[in-house]
Structure 1
Amino acid sequence: MEFKPLSRLRRFARRMAHELRRLGQWAAARRRAALSLFLRGLCQGLGVSTVGLVVFLVERSV
């Protein structure tokens, strides 16, 4: 059996490239989820604030 360090290095580099691609895909999915949750919270917060302001103004005018 012959020891081929170059072929082992290529296999290692190929495996690392694959892992980096998977890591990038994982991060992209998490970014999308985080952005979605952030926008949802922002919209809910704006809605609650708007309703609170309207109720405050209506109570003040009555």
Structure 2
Amino acid sequence: MSWIWEEDLNVANIIKVMSINPKAMRAVQGLNSTLMFGGSTLTRVQEESIAATVSAINKCHF
């Protein structure tokens, strides 16, 4: 049925949860983009390594 949306399996759970408040979701996505892609002295590999390490320590399975 065309009026039923199918689940997008490529969307992170954190985004799915925030999708009930689009304004908050856009704010968090903007912050994330600034933090991940803004000016930094770290390389992208270093940033991703830090993020993965913190996620592992926090037992967060993204």
TM-score, normalisation: structure 1: 0.31
Q: Greater relative contact order: 1 or 2 (C-alpha under 8 angstroms, separation 6 or more)?
A: 2
* Structure with the greater alpha carbon radius of gyration: 1
TM-score, normalisation: structure 2: 0.31
User: Larger % of helix: which?
Assistant: 1
